[in-house]
Structure 1
Amino acid sequence: MLRLDKFLCEMKTGTRSQVKVFIRKGLVTVNGTTVKSPEQKINEKADTVCVNGKRVSYQKYAYFMLHKPAGYVSATRDSHDKTVLDLMKEPGNPLLDRELFPVGRLDKDTEGLLLITDDGELSHRLLSPSMHVPKTYYVEIDGSLSAGRQECLRQGVDIGEKHGKTRPAVLTEAEKGGFCCAEAESAWLLTITEGKFHQVKRMMQAVGRNVVYLKRLSMGALQLDETLPRGAFRPLTEEELEKLLKEGESRL
């Protein structure tokens, strides 16, 4: 149960003082009945709350899938570059007024799946090194990979970290798609369960190859919607969110 004014503030209907004005003017109804007390308790998940005839639905946290393009940094603010949050503009969507942040980082020149949310607990579970959440990337490199190089990547390579080699990875050759760069000689799908700084690029450098294009396709149970254009975003579907939350719980 929540106080009505707290509920309306959390749903970004207005500031506490603005919400009290709405209530005092009789613009707020609960289950069809006009309410004049901001202290009234409501069941945020069951009651129907409307402001000026428009329903206000309860959502504790916001979850968005963003198809990150190159050229944007994975941060909430930056003094030099545009951030991924600069892409998320949609007038009249109160969920975008929340303190959203990207879950993890993709390099400025890397594209693909990025989860945007205000759910700090889920973010912690997905990013915690102890959880080993798998992340799959489409990688184009400037050369081929011999059987020996492939096996090195699968077993783990030394990228200069003090704790030794990277964890074992899953590597399969892929067809070069519509993303391919002119200097790319081969393409691969690489799944890792860590999130070290520039890890995919450093892993390829460890076997003598350079990444010329990189795109994240999945993070845990969440897969990039390939129909989502670069730079576009959308809320997670109920099915996507359910799978993601269950995975986070199963890794506790």
Structure 2
Amino acid sequence: MNKKAGEVCSHTSDSHHTVYEHFPADILISNGVKLHSAGRLDCDTEGLLLFTNDGKFSNFLTRPENKIEKTYFVRLKNAVSETEQKKYTKLAEKGMVLPAEKKSPEQKSNGAKIDWKAVTITNECEITLTEGKFHEVKRIFRALGNEVVYLKRVNFAGIELDESLKTGGWRNLAQSEIKSLKNGVFS
């Protein structure tokens, strides 16, 4: 699915639309098993969500110790110079203390890789991480002294976001994608 901003990754919500509203009933529950997302995206975050009814597989994809990569396109409030880019990249790679936010205490990030969209001043980059802590990408950039104003997951476990999908749209994975995902994850 290409998740819309403003939707939540839960089956019910009193205040927001949910990502599950896009699926027909026969897909939501198949053979008595509920469809669920492998991991979540914040309400204001767009992009790639993977869904499954295989709890073991979903658990494997989301456990930090399995180091499954997730890549996000990020737009920052403040542009970052070439010198600052190097600083951000180095600090993110070695891991950093994430500031406390809402239900999540101050905690250590295991590190992330930042790829800048331009060598000169830019406010756009991609960041790849393997943990998935609460608001982790936003907290990394806040710790670096900046603010995320737009966030979109573009890759999860080697599966690229299908840009032909409109936001809120979904499709079944191709057999080649399933094979690639299972080979990459369970190899």
Please report the TM-score for the alignment, with normalisation by the length of structure 1: 0.64
In the alignment, which of 176, 182, 185 is matched to residue 245 of structure 1? 182
Report deviation, 1:220: 0.7
Are 1:214 and 2:151 an aligned pair?
A: yes
Contact residue 72 and residue 151 of structure 2 kept, 8 A? yes
1:136 and 2:71 are equivalent in the alignment: yes
* Preserved contact between residue 99 and residue 143 of structure 2 (Cα < 8 Å): no
1:49-198 residue pairs with structure 2 within 5 A? Answer: 66-89=1-24, 94-98=26-30, 99-145=34-80, 146=84, 147-160=86-99, 165-174=108-117, 186-198=123-135
Q: Percent identity?
A: 35
The residue number in structure 2 matching 1:6 is none
5+ residue gaps, structure 2: none
In the TM superposition, what is the alpha-carbon distance from 1:95 to its structure 2 partner? 3.0
C-alpha distance in 2 between matches for 1:125 and 1:206: 29
Once the 2 structures are TM-superposed, how far is the Cα of residue 197 of structure 1 from its aligned partner? 0.2
Structure index of larger Rg: 1
| Aligned counterparts of 1:149 and 1:222: Cα–Cα separation in 2 | 26
Q: Is the 8 A contact 1:67 1:228 kept in 2?
A: yes
Quick check: 2:20–2:28 contact (8 Å CA) kept in 1?
Answer: no
Larger relative contact order, structure 1 or 2 (CA cutoff 8 Å, min sep 6): 2
Q: Which amino acid aligns with 2:89?
A: Q
SS at match of 2:93: helix
Structure 1 unaligned blocks of 5 or more: 1-65, 176-184
Structure number with higher strand proportion? 2
Preserved contact between residue 89 and residue 113 of structure 2 (Cα < 8 Å): no
Query: Deviations along 1:194-215, whole A, 9 cap, x unmatched?
Result: 1100000000000000000000
Q: Does 1:201 align with 2:138?
A: yes
Deviates more, 1:108-117 or 1:185-194: 185-194
- Contact 2:97–2:106 (8 Å) recurs in 1: no
Flag the 1:143–1:163 CA change in 2: closer, same or farther, 3 A: closer
- Residue matched to 1:225: 162
Query: Distance in 2 between the 1:248 and 1:160 partners?
Result: 31
Conservation of the 8 A alpha-carbon contact between 1:102 and 1:117: yes
Number of residue equivalences: 173
Provide the C-alpha distance between the structure 2 equivalents of 1:104 and 1:163, rounded to a whole number of angstroms: 21
Q: Deviation digits for residues 173-205 of structure 1, max 9, x if unmatched?
A: 126xxxxxxxxx610010001110000000000
Q: TM-score, normalised by structure 2?
A: 0.86
